[in-house]
Amino acid sequence: MRLTTEQRFWNLLKEQSSYEEAIGLMAWDMRTKAPQKGMENRSEVLGVLAQKVHEIQTSEELKSYIDQLKKSSHDNVLTAALSEVEETYKRTTKIPTALYREFVTLQSKSEFVWAEAKQNNDFKSFQPYLEELVRYNRQFAEYWGYDEHIYDALLHNYEPGLTVSQLDQVFPKVRRSLTHLLEEIKKAPGQPDPSVLKGHFPKELQKQFSEEILKKMGYDFQAGRLDETIHPFAIGLNINDVRVTTKYDEKDFRTAVFGTIHEGGHALYEQNIDSKLAFTPLATGTSMGIHESQSLFWENFISRSRSFWETHYPLFLKHAPDRFRQVALDDFFRAINEVKPSFIRIEADELTYPLHIMIRYELEKALIQGEIEVRHLPELWNEKMEQYLGIVPPTDSEGVLQDIHWSGGDFGYFPSYALGYMYAAQIEHAMKQHINIDQAIRAGDYYQIKQWLSTNIHQYGKMKKPLDILKDVTGEGLNPEYLISYLTTKYKGIYQF
């Protein structure tokens, strides 16, 4: 039987999706369990597979299907897929295939070099790789084109619709509010006692508690798994295989517990995309900012709330070492919400976290624009840490080398974290108009919350643009006031000022 043009189109996308799933599985393996000696060969294989994806995305065959189908499509999934594929085609055809393969190979090698550099506190060994990655990103940005700022071309990859001019209006406002609040907190009389959280907490016990919470959130272990890694991430290979990773610190359980919940929020998004989008480019989050809104909603608005610990503290004590039984719930709650500037972004408290993002945004924007050089990054990083957070990292491992993103060439990604936090605050405010969130948390029943998110956000995958999702859910565009209000109200209560 002769296949229709639409059938051939979907088959080609399924072939592309199959290559992408193989790439994702290999990337997961490299970051979790792969032996070091296999990294070089694996990087080459990834380059080959990425080239296959690139060839499909830029093929004349795909272009002919787009041209034929977009004239007559009345199906909303097909229309959205055609729009997504056509935009990717236009951007991707501007990048020579050989150049893209070189970049992907460099990415995977660079991640391995970065991991060793971080472990050895050796920025100079990573510097030449980072210089090359910056060079490639500048080239790509020029190929793609932009209206106002070269960084806009990279930002578009992660947060379509947002620009430098918008970020440069919103970020300073948030920064001023948070730095002012931070100064008030430092002077406040009601300081929490973080020592109640210290002490040895075996990894296996942390894992047991984390798994229990993931199950309560609605994470489907039949369609995922939890593993250990140096830098936590979630990865959706397909909607029935969405994996979570975490990092355990036996001296501080918060790293793994809140990190796992964070990645679990990402995973819930991917697991609840409408199955009719499977094997299409629409079967993923609409943007990194909306994706991050889901992880930060669960990590901060749910699991750092008093309601959460009033309900789940007995479950925590069931898995925790005996000494925690001597810690009063109120002391525990205030301690896990302590505001204290820290060197490590993924371990930062929820108030100072956006300041970490703004440091990275300002540095990578300047790198791409050619205002600063890679070799000066450690010094510039430390200067901004002191300016915004009042601390200076003692080593590059705790400073400029701490994040994996630059080693993967992911310039334009970091702003999504702060945007996601703002989105999450808006979404939480909108959800409160329909659901008594505190009541649901106290009941330990997250079904309503998960279903509301799935109905309004998750199911659509990439069918809607990020700012359309935000407008449809909240009734307005990006508004940082909800985040500022949330943090101000919460921490005035905790710090009693």
Per the DSSP assignment, residues forming a β-bridge with 244 are 226, 234
Query: Distance between CA atoms of 70 and 374, rounded to whole angstroms?
Result: 44
Q: Helices 164-187 and 415-431 sit at what angle, rounded to 10 degrees? A: 80
Query: CB–CB of 266/299 below 8 Å?
Result: no
Q: Which two tokens stand for residue 434?
A: 């329909």
From the list 270, 285, 297, the residue with the least C-alpha distance to 464 is 285
Q: Which two tokens stand for residue 486?
A: 């949330």
Q: How far apart are the first and last CA of the chain?
A: 74
Query: Distance between CA atoms of 368 and 148, rounded to whole angstroms?
Result: 14
Residues 6+ apart with CB under 8 A from 195: none
Question: Would residue 132 show up in a list of annotated catalytic residues for this protein?
Answer: no
Query: CB–CB of 293/268 below 8 Å?
Result: no
Per the DSSP assignment, residues forming a β-bridge with 59 are none
Query: Distance between CA atoms of 255 and 325, rounded to whole angstroms?
Result: 20
Per the DSSP assignment, residues forming a β-bridge with 235 are 243
Query: CB–CB of 453/400 below 8 Å?
Result: no
Query: Which of 111, 159, 263, 299 does the annotation list as catalytic?
Result: 263
Give phi and psi for 188, each to the nearest 5. Answer: -65, 145
- Cβ burial 322-347 (10 Å sphere, 16+ → b, else e): eebeebeeeebbbbbbbbbbbbebbb
Query: Distance between CA atoms of 254 and 119, rounded to whole angstroms?
Result: 22
Catalytic residue IDs = 263
